[in-house]
Chain A
Amino acid sequence: ALAPGFTAELNNVPVTAHDMSTLGDGQWLNDEVINFYMQLIIDRSQKTPVLPRVHAFNTFFYSTLSEKGYARVRRWTRRIKLFENDLVVVPVHLGVHWCCAIIDFRSKQITYYDAMLGDNSKCLHLLMDYLKEESRDKCNQEFDDSGWTMTCDKKIPRQRNGYDCGVFAVVFAEYAARDAPFRFSQDHCVLFRRKIAYEIATKTLISGIS
């Protein structure tokens, strides 16, 4: 158990003991835990040249893009070069549900991972439109979408309760960020919760090269 005053911080993204408590068994993960984890994924990618170059957006990116449009996220990438990455991770928050989308520039795929196997073609199209706008804005050229595929992947580990979707979303992102196949199941989620808490507390992801 963590001390009540526990806090950790990475690139200004903080977690508190309250945030960490959302990693307890049966609890719903909150944005802070997921956003801290996204920083860990970026951090590992930057420190490990053999791994894919990964950018991960925070959980507010998708909600802002979908509710307020491109103009309100236009400046979110001003410090990075989005198109120079291999992968872009987009955590997706839908009311009370966490999912995860991955843009893969190498295989020209946008894939949506919902551990409850839901469809979300709206998300896929929003992200494709985002790439087009971003290319116009940052690269001053039209994004070539030929050869790109967009999929809601259903052949993935499936959530079998009403509380682990955030764990799945985070683990999908972590595995994808090192090109690891999704060889896990619902049974691993209790362990994953402890692993995620440990990784946040130590500010280091356990898995390196797969």
Chain B
Amino acid sequence: MESPNMNNHQEDVKAKPETDVAHINIKVASSDNSEIMFKIKRSTKLAKLMQAYCSRTGKSTGTVRFLVDGERITGESTPESLGLEDGDTIDAMTEQVGGGSN
């Protein structure tokens, strides 16, 4: 269910058939420089993308941190709520641990 949004009139939401404005491409970049493109609805919770990324890369969800411009994002956020545009990047960082010198 969509939450009511003042700027989001029902008429504007309908996608024109030839230009797909409801979906955007998001690049997920990992710390080892690999990148995966995802096509996602602007209104879809990013939890879906996070799960898809982890299952695609075989990583456990608990060990990946998703960041936009250095800030942690939660699965509850959507491309819309974060202001993500087509082609924007989400960084997928891997858990870091440390105890002593190499």
Contact = CB atoms under 8 A, between A and B. Distances in A.
A96 B71 contact: no
B67 interface: yes
Interface of A: 11-14, 16, 18, 22, 27-32, 35, 57-61, 63-64, 67-68, 73, 75-79, 93-98, 116, 118, 159, 161-166
B70 A29 contact: no
Contact of A163 (B62, B67, B95, B99): B99
Interface string B56-99: 00000010010101111110000000000000000101011111
B69 to A, nearest CB: 4
A116 B69 contact: no
Given A67-B31, A75-B69, A28 B98 contact: yes
Contacts, number: 91
Given A58-B70, A61-B70, A63-B31, A95 B102 contact: yes
B100 A13 contact: no
Contacts of B8: none
A75 B96 CA distance: 22
Closest 6 CB pairs of A and B: A76-B70, A28-B99, A162-B100, A163-B99, A31-B96, A98-B98
Given A12-B74, A16-B62, A166 B69 contact: no
Contacts of A162: 99-100
A60 B101 contact: no
A64 B33 CA distance: 10
Interface of B: 31, 33, 62, 65, 67, 69-74, 91, 93, 95-102
Contacts of B98: 28-29, 93-98, 165-166
Interface of A is mostly: mixed
B72 A13 contact: yes
10 contacts: A35-B72, A63-B31, A63-B96, A93-B96, A96-B97, A96-B98, A96-B102, A97-B101, A116-B100, A163-B99
B90 to A, nearest CB: 13
A76 B96 CA distance: 19
Given A63-B31, A96-B102, A28 B73 contact: no
Nearest to A60: B93
